[in-house]
Amino acid sequence: MYIESITLENIRTFAAEKTMTFNHPDMKYGEGHELQNPPMYKNVNLIFGENACGKTTVLEAIALAALGPAVNESRIAPRPLVRFEPTTRTPTSREKNKEGSIQANFALQDNEILNLRDESPSKIGSIELKITQKGELESFDFESSAQINWEKVYLSGNDSFFAVAYGATRRVDSSSDRIRSKGRSSKFARLARIESIVQEGYTLTSLPSWFSFYKKGTKRSKQVVDLINGALGRGHFVFKGKQVKDDFVFSLGGMEIPFRSLSDGYKAFLGWVTDLIYHLDYACKRSNLRINEVSGIVLVDEVDLHLHPAWQMEVIGHLSKTFPRLQFIFTSHSPLIAGSVEWMNIKHLRLDNQHRTAIDPFEQAIHGLDVDQILVSDLFGLESTRAPDKRDKLYKLRLEARKGSNEAAMNLISEMAKGLEGNK
């Protein structure tokens, strides 16, 4: 399953009906599609926008939609979804009824279609999730197109309808006992896959808590090792599957460091990547699929969390190539992340003066531009990347230089090459 599009109405900052479309591995480009050619990373989508413009809301909405009819049984409790907007204008019917709507179109795999006996079963399934506010509580009303085989959602250990999400406040539990309370023994593992996006400080399943059960050298353990190293890329710590006491070690330049002793950057990245591999492994445990052959949706809020700039420039490519069958939807504020992809991968949100989200078409070629160029592009919209005091000083010198002052022109050239500290 992949998501083709999602439409939000009266959901938080999404007041009027707004639709966002997404790239995915099975997307057909060319005739009938707005893009004639696929982007370099056709399984990657990056959502950009200022704070509070609805980036996380989009991820939450996709995660809820992907649960299917199980969204009711899961008793999941996200932050209030229905928009509250005191206004003097005539309210819409949804505003009157304190109701919001999430509509999603999914590209289905064969095992997710109910009636394969039809001559040409539709591979696009749609759902609508109506959210009604009743006092302090919200209730879900789920509707779906008939051909979707939602019964698969209630079966454990199958790779259908795979969706996993990671919130910006995710954290890693280094305890090897975590598996006893969460994970393979969970009655509803699909909820555990997406709970991080709606629950602050949600603890992910750490590598030591599940990989300890694998015997080193088996086909499955080799797959895990290869995927971890593929996601990291060259020049980082290397994982060989070596366990010391109750932890696994990563090596770099002859030095071995336990997982729980890695830096925040490595733990933040490996935390969600190894949790993802854990869920992928569990989803296909009854099939002959390799772990990286599972199709599905992965949602990551703030993908650049704690990552060094050099790592930000390459992380998207490593993830895209390591997990080619997964559809990634990331959020970020990093111009380095933006410059590592093409405009076809980017979704741009902005707020209007009434605090409502708009989805702006973005078609500026930014792949390979430097940071300053990206920051002053329409994606970030900065007037300058300099500190305000410096910017104002240069502006005054520029005005004087335009009047014909040679001295001002020379000072302008000099000031552009140094910081304000040089004037003290």
Per-residue model confidence (pLDDT) at position 335: 96
Question: CA dist 133 to 61, 208, 298, Å?
Answer: 16, 42, 28
Q: Among 370, 233, 204, which Cα is nearest to 300's?
A: 204
Alpha-carbon distance 275 to 298, whole Å? Answer: 11
Per-residue model confidence (pLDDT) at position 186: 46
In order along its 424 residues, the chain shows pLDDT tens digits of: 999 999 999 999 999 899 999 999 999 888 777 778 889 999 999 999 999 999 999 999 999 999 999 998 888 888 899 997 666 667 777 777 789 999 999 999 988 998 766 666 689 999 999 999 988 889 999 999 989 999 988 887 789 999 999 999 998 876 544 444 444 444 478 899 999 999 988 999 888 888 988 888 899 999 999 999 999 999 999 999 999 988 999 999 889 999 989 998 999 999 999 999 999 999 988 788 999 999 999 999 999 999 999 999 999 999 999 999 999 999 999 999 999 999 999 999 999 988 899 999 889 999 999 999 999 999 999 988 888 888 888 888 888 888 888 888 888 788 877 777 756 5
Backbone dihedral angles phi then psi of residue 188, each to the nearest 5 degrees: -140, 85
Per-residue model confidence (pLDDT) at position 120: 65
Per-residue model confidence (pLDDT) at position 328: 98
Token digits of residue 385 = 């990347």
Backbone dihedral angles phi then psi of residue 76, each to the nearest 5 degrees: -70, 145
Strands 346-351 and 247-252: unpaired
DSSP reduced 3-state for 385: coil
Longest Cα–Cα distance in the chain:
82
Residues ≥6 apart with Cβ < 8 Å to 349: 47, 48, 49, 53, 54, 55, 58, 357, 358, 359, 360
Alpha-carbon distance 152 to 1, whole Å? Answer: 12
Torsion, Cα of 213, 214, 215, 220 (10° steps): 170
Per-residue model confidence (pLDDT) at position 240: 95
Per-residue model confidence (pLDDT) at position 52: 93
Per-residue model confidence (pLDDT) at position 423: 61
What's the half-sphere exposure (Cβ side, CA atoms, 13 Å) at 145? 19
Question: CA dist 234 to 59, 105, 107, 222, 309, Å?
Answer: 30, 37, 33, 18, 15
Distance, CA of 244 to chain centre: 33
Residue ranges in 17-79 assigned as alpha helix (H): 55-66, 70-73
Residue tagged 């919001």 (tokens)? 100
Alpha-carbon distance 352 to 342, whole Å? Answer: 26
Residue tagged 């709507």 (tokens)? 101
Per-residue model confidence (pLDDT) at position 175: 55
Domains contained in the chain, CATH given? 2-201+290-385 (3.40.50), 391-423 (no CATH)
H-run or E-run covering 275: helix 264-283
Distance, CA of 304 to chain centre: 10
